[in-house]
Chain A
Amino acid sequence: MVRVVITGIGVICPAGGSTEEFWNNCLSGSAAVTAIPEEWALYSTFSSTIWAPLPPIDFLKSRLSRIELMQNDTTALLAVAASDQALAMSGTVAKMVNEKKNTYALEAIDPLRAGVFMGTGIGGIASFAANEGHQLYAPVSAALRSNPGGDTASFDAIHRLLRYPPRFHPFAVAMSMPNTSSATLGIKYSLNGPNLTVCNACCAGATAIGYALKAIRNSEIDWALAGGVEYLRDGYGGIFKGFDIAKTLVNPGADPASANRPFDTARSGFLFAEGGAAVLVLESLDHAQKRNAQPLAEILSYAESFDAHSIMSPDPSGTQSERTVRKALDEAGMTPENIDYINAHGTATPANDEIEARLIERVFPHGPLVNATKSLTGHAIGASGAIETAVTALSLCTQTVHGCKNLINPVRPLRFVQKSGAYPIQTALTQSFAFGGHSAALILSRC
């Protein structure tokens, strides 16, 4: 059987703008929580009023030009920036092949046997929202200017609402389509193998990595960029409102900094992340050894299933989620006792954490370590499964596990990691569950 290893990790999310910064912040328990953008209040009221913002990102430090920053949706920029980090970590050298297009070829990688697998929940929706804003408001603004009418105060108030980009973007279609990130990566690094976008909501990042694993294991390809990306900030707060009106988001309470508390009895919903990306370099062990790339962790298995229950709520029985975990164990040739650490989905919604904690209790009575990375990052939807796979690999590689921030009274008596520290772990599970009814699980081991 072809063994598949991770040789590079790139992460950009609210907990850090680089893999190193991110991992250090995970271990120190540093999380970004701020008020949502003030301008959204022009358009609506919100029950949840906090989010996890991205750190400042200088995309020009990646293989991106100023012109590309104008041409691309933020998800594509995040994907390239995270990929550049992953390539650097995996010792993959990129040589420019077209200066005008700013595209590259990767040394020691056969482009015909190299693929891209990216997960996203809603792709370039922020670009769609911006262009829709232009489409709606530009003619209204022009009409008001030509015939203001009414009193000046009303006119000014209306104009304050008419915020929209100066142009309808000529690349609107390319920026809005869900596959904008995977296609951008394939073009950027001249990769001709399978190029797939997975859109199964909060499982997307994990599923994309799972499909890359399968493609390498089937010897369809030798090497892949795989991960997830999301960008959820629009000018009007409409994307946030969708999650807010569904009553999925955290209640800020008296202390917003500690409101996000996965697996705690006082949890109230998830902390919405502005966005994020995690991209892994995956390759066969043989391929990695031939090019002297250092394996960080091995991926043993991937499994998935579907609740067929509700588009918005997980099946309370957890039947299919449990089947996913057991299938992943079977495929890895493992029993539950082999799992030392579980990186849980842990959104902090009342339903998810209750069902997930009971699932862990049923399947893993021996008490593996459990943590929830979303306690630090918030929930970056389609990127989250990839971010958490990155955390699982970093934990195995460094033999260190981060704590569950803000967890004081656990919902179930699991072996939650309260404080970051050194733990001897050989094999780990990361699991994701999603709107729609999807579940996905990856099992990784130490190299």
Chain B
Amino acid sequence: MSEPTIEARVKAVITEVLKIDQSRLVNTAKFKEDLGADSLDLASMLMALEEEFKGSISDEDAKTMTTVGGAMETITRLSASPSFTSR
């Protein structure tokens, strides 16, 4: 069986934290306005993504993650950096 893609792993984390159906995770969906996330949910999601990808997400990178698509872009970009997964 092939490894799950970064997209699949990010979506799994978002689903686990927000307890919403994956069908709602379109790229343009905003975490706060469209998916009902509050600030604690966002902090939890960052922690869970750091745990999943074994890397640290800076405050600046976190600010880019306001939508599902934004989160996937940021994690994809960070995952390409060797320092991200070496914490």
Contact = CB atoms under 8 A, between A and B. Distances in A.
Nearest to A68: B44
B56 A100 contact: no
Interface string A26-69: 00000000000000000000000000000000000000011100
A166 B46 contact: no
A418 interface: no
Given A67-B16, A99-B19, A166 B48 contact: no
A170 B48 contact: no
Contact of B47 (A65, A100, A170): A170
Nearest to A66: B16
A67 B17 contact: yes
Interface string A98-124: 011000000000000000000000000
B43 interface: yes
B82 to A, nearest CB: 14
Interface string B56-76: 100000000000000000000
A167 B16 contact: no
B19 A70 contact: no
B16 A70 contact: no
B18 interface: yes
A243 interface: no
A71 interface: yes
B11 to A, nearest CB: 15
Question: Main secondary structure on chain B at its contact with chain A?
Answer: helix
A171 interface: yes
A169 B43 CA distance: 9
Interface in A159-197: 166-167, 169-171
A166 B51 CA distance: 10
B87 interface: yes
A167 to B, nearest CB: 6
A264 B51 CA distance: 48
Interface in B1-33: 16-19
Interface residues of B, number: 15
Given A70-B48, A166-B50, A171 B16 contact: no
Interface residues of A, number: 12
Nearest to A171: B43
Given A71-B44, A170-B43, A100 B18 contact: yes
A76 B17 CA distance: 19
Contacts of A167: 47, 50, 56
A67 B56 CA distance: 17
Contacts of B56: 166-167
Contacts of B17: 67, 100
Contacts of A66: 16, 48
A67 B18 CA distance: 10
Interface string B28-45: 000000000000110110
Interface of A: 65-67, 70-71, 99-100, 166-167, 169-171
Given A66-B48, A166-B50, 15 more contacts: A66-B16, A70-B47, A70-B48, A71-B44, A71-B47, A99-B19, A100-B18, A100-B41, A166-B56, A166-B87, A169-B47, A170-B46, A170-B47, A171-B40, A171-B43
The 7 closest A-B pairs by CB, nearest first: A170-B43, A100-B19, A99-B19, A70-B47, A166-B87, A67-B44, A166-B56
